[in-house]
Structure 1
Amino acid sequence: MSLGAVRDRWQLFAGAVIAVALGVGLVQSALQVMAATGEPQLPPGLSGIERAHIRDGYAGAATLLGMTVMLAVFLTVFIVSTTFRFTVVQRRRELALLRLVGAQRGTLRLMLLGEAALLGVLGTAIGIPIGVLGTYAQSKLLIHLGMLPTWFTAPWDPGALYAAAIVGVSTALVGVFAAAWRASRITALEALSDLPEAQPVMTGWRWFWGLSAAGFTVLLVIVGQAAADLVAGLMIALLVMVSGSVALSQLSPIAVPWVGRLPALVLHGSLVADLARSNVLHAVRRSAATAAPLIVLVGLLVGLWGTFGSLAKAVGEEQRQLVTADLVVGGQVAPAPDLAVASPQTTVPITVRRKTSTVYSEAIGIDPVAWQQTHKLHPRKGSLDRLTGATIAIGPGMSAEGYKLDSVLTATIGKRVVKLTVVAILPETLDVGDNFFVPRALTSSGRTETLIKVADGSDQAVVAQRLGGTVQSVAEWAEGRGKQQQSGNTGIFAVLMGLAGVYAAVAVVNAIVMAAADRRREFALARMAGLTRAQVITVALIESLTVVLIGVLLGCVVAAAALAGVASGTANTYGVVVLAIPWRLIALILAGSLVVVGATAAGTAWTATRARPISLLGGRE
């Protein structure tokens, strides 16, 4: 029976098979690349800092791949569960007839689980070749993003194949559990009556999960507004994205019609527009199935990108407030009457050894007196006044690594090996680029920039023109520091955004195609009532595009709730609201969704209206 159902209704299950195949391919390729990053093979001749950078890239790649695996599993379960929830509704009459001829509830559950197992096996078989190609593609992508070196290769690992196969079948089975339980609750007379009230959209469990997630989201938003610092706001924002997306996707049969009344105010004045408006408001199940993936997509992507962008802007705002200089000049600057303070800082590679670890990093050679005159950042332990001779100060990037005041470190600067005493430990900041500070006498060569404080009575623009070369205001320099940090997140986010976008497209197209199978009689009735085929297709198109607008709007509500905590955290920390709203990303998602959903809706409506209306109304399928 399971095999026959999959064979006869393959159009309904195609989206679930694609989702499982993508999940298997991504998990297999990600695990295979992760296995290769576990033990980096480094060629001889590399310096210590080059080895450290490569290891950091390997660690970042492994983190990104782990996020990819978790996202792929989550979205696969989401699409499979949505597919089977929809098919149970469409097959109520079939399932009721099975109950009439003696099928028990356990039999129905077993049949649906059998269908899920078949889909899992089929998706796994398709996904394994995808995983082989995905391993090559992911390796090249990570190399292009700069996380992995050009010589990186991922050898074949059979363990990744076995794990991916287990994930493929298990995600299909997990995704169908709720639908199988719901199918077993169908009674023959209730289903055969075909009354709308006999087919509730909001089940008890859907109410439970939706309201629970909504309540948790509201609580998180309240806590986020009361958060005393930015870090707490960022952590709360990540939780709000997930819980808010789950809440609105579960409550979409309620939220979509309610929000749908807003575009309904515009969609009026013609028969086609009125029919489309009515379908959005009353075809709750179909509208919710289309909008739910978009809610999750927009809520997660816009929320994440807004959080990353806000963090980058916060780095710039933090540096702007911590630096009291007026200009930043690339290179050394000679003293002059129009310069009150010139604080040069030279960056050089450094290797710092302790009993328990070795750190390959960079040190900044500074004049402690001038540096303190151009910065508001004060040590939390010790004093920069002692930074002379064979000494070192622990910067914000290493502040939490357990260094102790007055301890002695062995450092290699260039080719010199020196013993340095820790004289100061600075507090942590969002910008973790500054790891160590040493006296400038220890940095004979390196990359130098000078922070300038213009003398009273001197014009800043005139001074900048006189200095020539690379001259920036502190605001421009601080913004550049923030963008530099954001550039490291852009590649990671692009990978996750592409992955989520593909899954959302599969879910939305799957929902529209599945709904079209039940709309043949509806379209035939509309044509028998006097509508032309073009008008029927237009109704389906306007309806779907309206649902896209609703889904994107609800997703933006989730993202706004998440970013509210970030805005509150920055206001409490810096005294101003620092927030990055990704308008371009929202426009890109909206445009892409309109194109994909519009094309799918028009295509399925055109296919469903090819037959003569009288042939569909002559008898029940």
Structure 2
Amino acid sequence: MLRLSWSTFRERWQLFIGATLTVCLGVALVQSSLLILVSAAVGGYVEAIALLGITLGISAFLAVFIVSSTFAFTVAQRRRDLALLRLTGAARGQVRRLLLSEATLLGLLGTALGVPLGLLVMRAQSWLLRDLGFVPAEFAPRWQGWILAVSAGIGLGVAVSGVLAASRRAAKVRPLEALRDTGEAARVMTGLRWFFGILFLAGSVSLVIVSSFAGPEGAIPLAVNAALTAAVALSALSPLVVPLIGRVFGVALRGSTLGGLAQANLWDGVRRSASTAAPLIVLVALLLGQSGTLLSIGEAGQVEQRRDLRGDLVVTAQGQTGAASVPGVDVAAPQLRLPVRTTTTTYEGDGEYETEADNVDALVVDPAAYARTHRAEPVAGSLTRLRGNTVAVTADSGFPLGTTVDARIGDRDVPLRVVAVLPMTFAGGSMLLPVDAVPAAVAARAPSETIVRLAPGADAGAVRGALGEFGEVRTLEEWIDQSASRQQQVSTGIMTVILGLAGLYALIAVVNAVVIAAAERRREFAVARMSGLTRGQVVRLALLESWAVAAIGLVLGGLAGAGTWVGIGAATERIAGQSTIVVPWTLLGVVVAGALLVVGATSVWTAWSATRARPVSLAGAAE
């Protein structure tokens, strides 16, 4: 069976090269993310670990999803070949073993190419993390010998699992139905499509609902998962949308010969259109869902700061300042930013316990001055008790009022008693410490912002000039805008790390699907030319079809991405008091234009290549 599989692979290499490429890229991306994640865990780079964990999950999902859809499409393109095998005496089990043998060969070949490619991808990802500041400049991931076994398992696993469902369906189809393209062979919306479409759609709705009740830290991973599940659901149900898009397409190009033919091809090639649109749906859903979530969270943080802060000027410096002594200053509330490592111990009975460490951002404040420059009131406890080894935490921290937080401040371990619980916030700073809980040497090195309220009748210009000797002085509005700009840069970095190479993988999968679709249409194009169409008209026909398929992917991907904004809008309204849904219009325009350009250019190139030979020789060739 392996010999027959290898012969088929050599004969139909144009059809199999796309599947091999998707396995290769999937292995490279997962291998790279896993190696960097292990190295980051050894170094204790918490932010990088969190980002790489999400990146690894998305990479694994894309590998399985794209390889599965590519293999399913490849098998569907060969249903006539498989039907002829059945007619010549092959049993259903032999057809399945043939396809599984081909998947094994493709998995081995993809793994062999993906392992060295993964080293290049690892360098690119490491450079990206260093450039964005998530790891230090000296960070260099180490090669692990066991990764070869993991990569082989990934390559073979996704290849074989990707072809399992397609091989089962191909073996069940009656040979004559496959040859005539009738009955079960012609049905695109199979039971599995309905099952997974409805299942993942329900999962996406559930995640959106959960995200509306989540805290700030849970919003991003929930949004990503909601976008992924929605993309899978709409990809499975996309054959229902293809005829609708075809009808709209026909109305828009009414009276055009090429438009009518393109509409007919969409109706006839529903499976081809749905398979081509699937990776584009995932790409658009991820980009729009992730960017919309980050932008909305950033906007919610600005809304919170404008609503909560009471001040006129902000002094940015190192350590505490003497701003309170400047004439014309009514209140000066310094807040020092300090990373604190907390340790949570959970006892599981029988003397066993589990310890979990976490790095949090703390603000070191003077409680009295803080209360005079902030409107937000604690939901439990009181800030007046914030002195000594005490702490105020946000409601989503997991530390109830009265419990003790084991924290490491500087180079000493300190037990901190929770005396106040603050509302959840998108503006940053999940813990408040009193000044006397932090060693003076540590506080002197910490960056600080001092919120200044002017006394009635004070000369703002004179006070601002006097405060300049302590550090950089801005108005409160300018400082909020600068914080938003800094947060936007961080959000862009997060999205780049999570979706940079994964998005490129999805884009390559889109191109690959277009190439596979065109590889099996040489005879169809030849018949169209013999019917009177010129070569240029056939190429323009393929371009119109590809743009219609791209429109399907863009619409469904946009719906999947926009669905996550519902949950984010509800979460920001609950936490920030105002629903802040930010639509990334610029990115949306770039995605639409880029998708049409890439899909269109690929379609033109493949159609031009497919029509290079004389139509008579192709039309009369055996299929």
Q: What percent identity do the matched residue pairs reach? A: 43
**Deviation larger for 111-120 or 148-157:** 148-157
Partner Cα separation in structure 1 for residue 325 and residue 618 of structure 2:
90
Pairing 1:113-124 to 2, within 5 Å after superposition: 113-124=100-111
Specify whether residues 493 and 553 from structure 1 end up closer, same or farther in structure 2 by C-alpha distance, changes over 3 A only: same
Pairing 1:386-535 to 2, within 5 Å after superposition: 386-387=385-386, 391-396=388-393, 400=397, 402=399, 405=402, 422=417, 424-427=419-422, 428-433=424-429, 435-439=431-435, 443=440, 445-446=444-445, 447-455=447-455, 470-535=472-537
Q: What one-letter code is carried by the residue in structure 2 that aligns with 1:20?
A: V
Specify whether residues 260 and 60 from structure 1 end up closer, same or farther in structure 2 by C-alpha distance, changes over 3 A only: farther
Deviation at 1:352, TM superposition (A): 8.9
SS at match of 1:451: strand
Specify whether residues 569 and 261 from structure 1 end up closer, same or farther in structure 2 by C-alpha distance, changes over 3 A only: farther
Match of 1:12 among 11, 15, 25: 15
Residue 321 (1) aligns with residue 307 (2): yes
What does residue 257 of structure 1 align with?
243
Pairing 1:291-370 to 2, within 5 Å after superposition: 291-330=277-316, 332-333=322-323, 339-346=329-336, 364-370=363-369
Residue 554 (1) aligns with residue 556 (2): yes
Match of 2:274 among 271, 288, 300: 288
Residue 602 (1) aligns with residue 604 (2): yes
State TM-score, norm by structure 1. 0.85
Match of 2:188 among 201, 207, 213: 201
Partner Cα separation in structure 2 for residue 92 and residue 530 of structure 1:
29
Return 5+ residue gaps in structure 2 as ranges: 346-354
Query: Contact 1:398 / 1:436 at 8 angstroms: preserved in 2?
Result: no
**Deviation larger for 263-272 or 73-82:** 263-272
Residue 100 (1) aligns with residue 87 (2): yes
Query: Contact 1:267 / 1:277 at 8 angstroms: preserved in 2?
Result: no
SS at match of 2:292: helix
Deviation at 1:592, TM superposition (A): 2.4
**Deviation larger for 480-489 or 14-23:** 480-489
Could you list the per-position Cα deviations for residues 79-127 of structure 1 after superposition, in whole angstroms to 9, with x for gaps in the alignment? 3322332233222222122112221111100000000000001111111
**Deviation larger for 276-285 or 593-602:** 276-285
Query: Contact 1:257 / 1:282 at 8 angstroms: preserved in 2?
Result: no
RMSD: 3.6
Deviation at 1:562, TM superposition (A): 1.2
**Deviation larger for 458-467 or 156-165:** 458-467
Deviation at 1:304, TM superposition (A): 1.4
SS at match of 1:425: strand
Partner Cα separation in structure 2 for residue 539 and residue 362 of structure 1:
57
What does residue 28 of structure 2 align with?
25
What does residue 234 of structure 2 align with?
248
Partner Cα separation in structure 2 for residue 92 and residue 581 of structure 1:
43
Partner Cα separation in structure 2 for residue 225 and residue 60 of structure 1:
21
Specify whether residues 603 and 411 from structure 1 end up closer, same or farther in structure 2 by C-alpha distance, changes over 3 A only: closer
Partner Cα separation in structure 1 for residue 426 and residue 42 of structure 2:
30
What does residue 259 of structure 2 align with?
273
Partner Cα separation in structure 2 for residue 359 and residue 521 of structure 1:
62
What does residue 565 of structure 2 align with?
563
Deviation at 1:421, TM superposition (A): 7.3
Specify whether residues 434 and 481 from structure 1 end up closer, same or farther in structure 2 by C-alpha distance, changes over 3 A only: farther
**Deviation larger for 24-33 or 439-448:** 439-448
SS at match of 1:452: strand
Query: Contact 2:312 / 2:451 at 8 angstroms: preserved in 1?
Result: yes
What does residue 351 of structure 2 align with?
none
Deviation at 1:541, TM superposition (A): 1.1
Query: Contact 2:177 / 2:183 at 8 angstroms: preserved in 1?
Result: no
Return 5+ residue gaps in structure 1 as ranges: 41-54
Q: What one-letter code is carried by the residue in structure 2 that aligns with 1:394?
A: V
User: How many residues align structurally?
Assistant: 600
Pairing 1:5-154 to 2, within 5 Å after superposition: 5-40=8-43, 55=44, 57=45, 59-154=46-141
Specify whether residues 258 and 215 from structure 1 end up closer, same or farther in structure 2 by C-alpha distance, changes over 3 A only: farther
Could you list the per-position Cα deviations for residues 18-74 of structure 1 after superposition, in whole angstroms to 9, with x for gaps in the alignment? 11112222333333333333433xxxxxxxxxxxxxx3x2x3333333333333332
Specify whether residues 475 and 281 from structure 1 end up closer, same or farther in structure 2 by C-alpha distance, changes over 3 A only: farther
Partner Cα separation in structure 1 for residue 111 and residue 404 of structure 2:
57
Query: Contact 1:343 / 1:371 at 8 angstroms: preserved in 2?
Result: yes
Partner Cα separation in structure 2 for residue 466 and residue 344 of structure 1:
17
Could you list the per-position Cα deviations for residues 327-364 of structure 1 after superposition, in whole angstroms to 9, with x for gaps in the alignment? 32335535677554332345578899999999988865
State TM-score, norm by structure 2. 0.85
What does residue 159 of structure 2 align with?
172
Specify whether residues 263 and 394 from structure 1 end up closer, same or farther in structure 2 by C-alpha distance, changes over 3 A only: farther
SS at match of 1:39: helix
Query: Contact 1:298 / 1:552 at 8 angstroms: preserved in 2?
Result: yes
Query: Contact 1:12 / 1:83 at 8 angstroms: preserved in 2?
Result: no
